[in-house]
Amino acid sequence: MIEINGWKIYFHKIFNKQLQELVAGSIKFKEKDTPKQYRERFKPKLLKALQKAIEESIPNDPFSKDFELRGNLSDYQRVKLTGICDRYRLFFKVDADKKLIIILWLGYPRNEGGKNDCYRVFGKMVDKGDFPLNIEQLIVESDFS
């Protein structure tokens, strides 16, 4: 858990696993690449975009109109990772009363209408119960370390 701008930010176990895999992959490059080569690789760029979203964009205004989802996903938010990672979406849930943000899942690709479109996959995960609406249940399923 981290705290930024008065918001407690938790990582759901599904996102935490994605993040650990991304970090591990990036470390391998860092060990063998020059600093310039490392900065040009996709995984480090994606990590930087995630860091900016988690530490700046989301906690600055978690209810921004830019983060809104519609339809059966309207209880959740997402941020678009712009630039090199523009086909990625970071999905999260906010509880204003408790000042909590739970980062749920990093979705890829954004392929409107596609069978594997990240919004469609996220919707199936929600329907399956991977991300319950109950904030207390989400906290239980989040990493506290």
Beta bridge partners of 100: 8, 95
- Tell me: cis bond preceding 35? Omega within 30 of 0 counts: no
CA distance 89 to 113: 15
pLDDT tens per residue, range 51-102 = 999 999 999 999 999 999 999 999 999 999 987 788 999 999 999 999 999 9
**Structure letter (DSSP) for residue 67:** G
Residue 84's CATH number: 3.30.2310.20
CA distance 51 to 57: 9
CA distance 135 to 93: 8
pLDDT for 8 equals 96
The number of domains in the chain is 1
Joined tokens for residue 121: 């996959």
Domain that holds residue 38: 2-143
- Examine the pLDDT at 112 and tell me if it is beyond 90: no
Global confidence as pTM: 0.93
